[in-house]
């Protein structure tokens, strides 16, 4: 199926009066977002430079980035991980039913009618006014569909951004009628080690990757425990929230080892000129008692699943959190919020200011 090409300016044009980043037409790259805030997109497009000649990483993942002063930086991927009969499947490595390659095909729509796969935008997103008390507030929403998983799960998502909260994505998880019953359908941020996330903020404590995974130097993931509902922070609205950030200064985070092996892997170098806090949030009134937080760690950057340790490079500064997610028993319409913000954790939840950090 042919890809359609358009100029970068067509995809990311924002007028002085309209703050949204939206595709111009159905042939435009699949990239949506808001100025000075969060941006998301679908394969095959790189949200930093959405043209067909440069694929934006693997299939089966939602790209999430941040726009600031006219430039978009890619920050993380969101994967979909449904569980059926105790079997979890991973959207980025599950083989496609179309061509057998890794990664579920994903596509967008303005409505809950899934239609069929199409490689460009199709949907510009729908603008609504969600708050009658504040009619100037706008919300951009669209649906993201995907192939049915091999375990029978067939979820789809409604993704929204509000203009009064431009650093946050709302994910509503739904399912097609032909879906097998899902015990859970986790959305996981899969690339925490790009931002070298090492501090995880819970209620009354900070989990430090270097201490949690002390001594780990393998090429795989490492995982220790899941943090239940009673260990989660509450924000100013009393909603459940978990925050993650790097333990490095910006000068350290933006540096890159001056070694030949690292020059060949420069795409892992942190490119934004500011630090970002990442978080997951769950509204208190929607939360199930099964709500929990899960992280795992890596000591070396992902290298395509190779078993050869020599093709991996160490993450500068040591082991960092990689997957970062909230989990909950599945029910149709459940919502999770993922944020990328230039605010510090203490700006978001003041009580963390006194917590012990390195």
Cα atoms in the Cβ-side hemisphere of radius 13 Å centred on 216: 23
Q: What is the pLDDT of residue 27?
A: 85
Q: How confident is the model at residue 222 (pLDDT cuts 50, 70, 90)?
A: very high
Residue written as token pair 């979820």: 155
- pLDDT-derived band at 151 (thresholds 50, 70, 90) equals very high
- For residue 115, the model assigns a pLDDT of 86
Is residue 116 packed enough to be buried (19+ CB in 10 Å), middle (13-18) or exposed (0-12)?
exposed
pLDDT score at 9: 42
Q: What is the pLDDT of residue 329?
A: 98
The whole-number pLDDT of residue 116 equals 87
pTM: 0.93
Length of the chain equals 358
Q: What is the mean pLDDT of residues 346-352?
A: 95
Reported as a single tens digit per residue, the pLDDT across 48-68 is 987 765 676 799 999 999 999
Whether the per-residue pLDDT at 2 is higher than 90: the answer is no
Average pLDDT on 5-24 reads 58
- Say if residues 190 and 250 touch (Cβ distance below 8 Å): no
Task: For residue 49, give the nearest of 3, 90, 19, 6 by alpha carbon.
Answer: 6
Which residues, 6+ apart, have CB-to-CB distance to 269 below 8 Å? 254, 256
CB 220 within 8 A of CB 294: no
Tokens of 265: 């892997």
Neighbouring residues of 349: CB distance < 8 A, sequence distance ≥ 6: 201, 233, 234, 235, 236, 241, 243
Averaged pLDDT score across all residues of the chain: 92
Q: Is 260 helix (H, G, I), strand (E, B) or coil?
A: helix
pLDDT average, residue stretch 156-181: 98
| 323, 244 contact by CB (below 8 A) | no
Convert the pLDDT of each residue in 270-300 to its tens digit. 999 999 999 999 999 999 999 999 999 999 9
């Amino acid at each position: 199926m042919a890809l359609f090409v358009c100029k970068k300016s067509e995809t990311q044009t924002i007028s002085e009066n309209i703050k949204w980043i939206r595709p111009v037409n159905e042939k435009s790259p699949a990239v949506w977002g808001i100025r000075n805030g969060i941006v998301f997109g679908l394969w095959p497009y790189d949200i930093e430079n959405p043209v067909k000649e440069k694929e934006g990483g693997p299939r089966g993942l939602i790209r999430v980035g941040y726009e600031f002063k006219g430039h978009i930086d890619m920050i993380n991927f969101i994967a979909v991980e449904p569980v059926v009969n105790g079997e979890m499947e991973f959207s980025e490595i599950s083989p496609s039913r179309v061509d057998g390659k890794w990664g579920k095909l994903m596509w967008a729509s303005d409505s809950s009618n899934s239609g069929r796969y199409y490689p460009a935008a199709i949907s510009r997103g729908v603008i609504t006014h969600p708050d009658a008390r504040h009619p100037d507030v706008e919300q951009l929403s669209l649906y993201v569909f995907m192939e049915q998983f091999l375990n029978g799960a067939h979820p789809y998502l409604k993704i929204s951004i509000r203009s009064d909260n431009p650093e946050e994505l709302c994910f509503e998880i739904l399912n097609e009628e032909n879906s097998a019953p899902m015990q859970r359908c986790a959305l996981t941020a899969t690339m925490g080690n790009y931002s070298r996330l090492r501090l995880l903020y819970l209620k009354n404590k900070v989990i430090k990757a270097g201490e949690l995974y002390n001594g780990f130097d393998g090429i795989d993931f490492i995982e220790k425990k899941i943090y239940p509902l009673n260990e989660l922070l509450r924000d100013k609205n009393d909603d459940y929230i978990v925050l993650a950030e790097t333990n490095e200064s910006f000068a350290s985070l933006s540096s890159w080892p001056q070694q030949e092996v690292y020059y060949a892997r420069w795409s892992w170098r942190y490119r934004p000129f500011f630090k970002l806090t990442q978080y997951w949030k769950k509204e208190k009134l929607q939360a199930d008692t099964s709500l929990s937080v899960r992280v795992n760690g890596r000591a070396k950057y992902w290298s395509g699943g190779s078993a050869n340790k020599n093709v991996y490079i160490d993450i500068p500064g040591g082991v960092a959190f990689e997957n970062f997610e909230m989990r909950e028993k599945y029910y149709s319409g459940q919502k999770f919020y993922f944020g990328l913000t230039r605010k510090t954790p203490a700006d978001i939840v003041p009580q963390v200011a006194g917590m012990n950090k390195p």
